[in-house]
Amino acid sequence: MDGIFCQEVTIGCDAGTIQGRIHYREENMEKPGVILCPPHPLLAGNMDNNVITALAHRLADHHTVLSFNYRNVGQSFKAEGNLPLFEYWDRLDQKNDFSAISCDTSEILHWSARFFKRFHLIGYSFGAFMALSALSDSALSLTCITPPLNEHEFNLASIRCPTLFIFADNDDIVGTKKQALPAQTVVHEIKNSDHFFRGQEQNVCDVVTEFLATSA
């Protein structure tokens, strides 16, 4: 991609360091950024995920884009005595306690201020849950892609910024939405796709790009 640079970064959090990646054009460094929160690590959730990488590449045309790996994923720090990825995240699932991950995400948002003061926050699947849990006043918009509304309690009433929800019509992972969405929310359904959007990544990018253009 001509003119787009990719830089690996290390994000310092209180609990340890997080592996991150910045995609950017030099001429966009003064513009609002984008932060991408990946899916659950046991569901291909890392910054090399197909949807995350497609969004990073597309959105870097107009924004500085930060993606990252959660703890115990890739080169991010290992918690709980260096437990393997599966064992650590399976334990979190069993406890249904992701407060530490939410704390990490909030610290990542704070750390990003060295690159951009305002940003658009995007979360895919479990990442949408983390994005909403860490949502701050610095967010110009929130995009939730196939959020697990049936599995986690989303504090939708707390949303104050323009918000986009993207669903897949054949999603058999998180099912259909059961929580009522705020009236001002933009909702888009990707046809002929499941939760993983294989082959539909560019359609997702098209919807997000159009939304961000109206949410600056």
The number of distinct structural domains making up the chain is 1
- Order across the sheet with 5-12: list the strands: 5-12, 17-24, 65-68, 33-37, 119-124, 139-145, 163-168, 186-190
- This prediction's pTM: 0.96
- Which CATH number characterizes residue 60's domain? 3.40.50.1820
Residue 13 sits in which domain range?
A: 5-213
- Distance between alpha carbon 49 and the CA centroid of its chain, in Å? 11
CA distance 145 to 128: 7
**In this structure, what DSSP letter does residue 77 have?**
P
State both tokens at 211.
């939304």
Digit-by-digit pLDDT tens for the chain (216 residues) are: 578 999 999 999 999 999 999 999 999 999 999 999 999 999 999 999 999 999 999 999 999 999 999 999 999 999 987 889 999 999 999 999 999 999 999 999 999 999 999 999 999 999 999 999 999 999 999 999 999 988 887 888 889 999 999 999 999 888 766 677 887 799 999 999 999 999 999 999 999 999 999 986
